[in-house]
């Protein structure tokens, strides 16, 4: 079996997908996070090439036209573009790294089709618990924003999740079990997670 190198971990806001990726990267030095491109300005403390590849709009458009942005989306409410940055992905693959991408269903499909990615959706144990996580992460979040996020989460859980290769339930307080399940899936799929 040929070793696989690209993994998509998805899930609604507050599902624990970033915690899963971070913990697997800690235990597997060969694993890295894909750094995507964006047109938004860096926030305080963010580093170009580490947090995102920060591109001006014209740079993003040129990268898109040249094929360096493989897949992208536009968030109209933020007037911001995000995309899979081919130079980052290809350089990590050349180094033999296992690359973890946190993308939506469109990005997941693209990487599955073009990079033989395994796609995993992190399921919350319930939408009520998910909502409490979202509220707990940002106590000042306006109610309208909470409701927008929950509407998106309902769509992701009911419509998008079944389209992923695997769905892993992340039970509140049992992150270690979730990580163990994801690691088992990746080993079964042929990923080299050795130190």
Q: Average per-residue pLDDT in the chain?
A: 92
Yes or no: say if 107 and 126 are a contact pair by the CB < 8 Å rule. Answer: no
**Percent of the chain topping pLDDT 70:** 99
Residue 56: both structure tokens together: 């001006």
State whether residue 99 is helix, strand or coil. strand
Helix (H) or strand (E) holding 106: helix 105-115
Angle CA(102)–CA(143)–CA(16) in degrees, nearest 5?
Answer: 25
Name the helix (H) or strand (E) containing 31. Answer: strand 31-33
> What is residue 2's predicted lDDT score, i.e. its pLDDT?
60
Q: Is 120 helix (H, G, I), strand (E, B) or coil?
A: strand
Q: How far apart are CA 68 and CA 101, in angstroms?
A: 16
Residue indicated by tokens 């990487």: 111
pLDDT of residue 59: 97
Q: Among 2, 34, 36, 38, which residue's Cα sits nearest to residue 21?
A: 34
Q: In the chain, what are the domains?
A: 1-30+97-187 (3.40.50.300), 34-95 (3.30.63.10)
Residue 60 has φ and ψ, to the nearest 5°, of -60, -45
Most confident segment among 55-59, 135-139, 147-151: 55-59
- List, for residues 86-106, the tens digit of each pLDDT value: 999 999 999 999 999 998 898
- pLDDT of amino acid 78: 78
């Amino acid at each position: 079996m040929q070793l696989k190198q690209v993994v998509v971990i998805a899930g609604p806001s507050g599902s624990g997908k970033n915690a899963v990726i971070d913990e697997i990267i800690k235990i597997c030095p060969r694993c890295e996070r894909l750094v995507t491109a964006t047109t938004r300005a860096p926030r305080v403390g963010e580093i170009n090439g580490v947090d995102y590849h920060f591109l001006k709009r014209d740079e993003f458009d040129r990268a898109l036209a040249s094929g360096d942005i493989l897949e992208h989306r536009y968030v109209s409410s933020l007037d911001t573009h995000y995309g899979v940055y081919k130079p980052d992905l290809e350089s990590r693959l050349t180094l033999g790294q296992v690359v973890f991408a946190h993308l939506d269903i469109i990005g997941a499909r693209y990487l599955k089709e073009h990079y033989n990615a395994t796609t995993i959706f992190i399921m919350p144990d319930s939408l009520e618990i998910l909502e409490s996580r979202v509220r707990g992460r940002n106590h000042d979040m306006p109610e309208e924003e909470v409701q927008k996020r929950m509407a998106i989460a309902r769509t992701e859980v009911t419509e998008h999740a079944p389209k992923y290769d695997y769905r892993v339930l992340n039970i509140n307080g049992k992150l270690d079990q979730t990580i163990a399940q994801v690691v088992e899936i990746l080993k079964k799929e042929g990923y080299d997670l050795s130190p």
